[in-house]
C-alpha cells in the first residue's frame, strides 16, 4: 500500500497544467467515501441471503449434480 508521503511526492511531480484534473479526481474520491458511508447496509449476511430469489425446478435440490453436469436442463 502506498503511504501518504509517497502519494504526496507523486503529486509534487504532476505538471501545473494537470493539477486541476488531479484535484477533481481527489474530490471525487472524497465524495464517494462520504456517499458510501451514508449508504452502509446494516443487514446481516443471512438477511441479505434470504432476499435472493432463484427460479429452479422442484427437483433441483435432489438432482443438483445432474443439472450442474448438464444431464438435466433448467429449461
* Nearest partner of 26 among 6, 11, 9, judged by Cα: 11
| d(C-alpha 15, C-alpha 30), whole Å | 22
Q: What is the pTM of this model?
A: 0.40
30 or 72, higher pLDDT:
72
C-alpha cell at 50: 434470504
56-65 pLDDT per residue, tens? 889 988 989 9
pLDDT tens for 6-30 read 889 988 998 899 889 888 888 887 8
Amino acid at each position: 500500500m502506498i503511504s501518504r508521503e509517497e502519494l504526496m511526492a507523486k503529486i509534487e511531480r504532476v505538471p501545473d497544467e494537470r493539477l486541476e484534473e488531479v484535484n477533481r479526481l481527489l474530490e471525487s474520491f472524497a465524495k464517494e467515501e462520504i456517499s458510501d458511508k451514508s449508504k452502509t447496509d446494516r443487514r446481516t449476511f443471512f438477511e441479505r441471503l434470504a432476499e435472493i430469489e432463484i427460479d429452479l425446478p422442484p427437483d433441483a435440490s435432489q438432482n443438483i449434480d445432474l443439472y450442474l453436469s448438464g444431464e438435466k436442463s433448467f429449461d
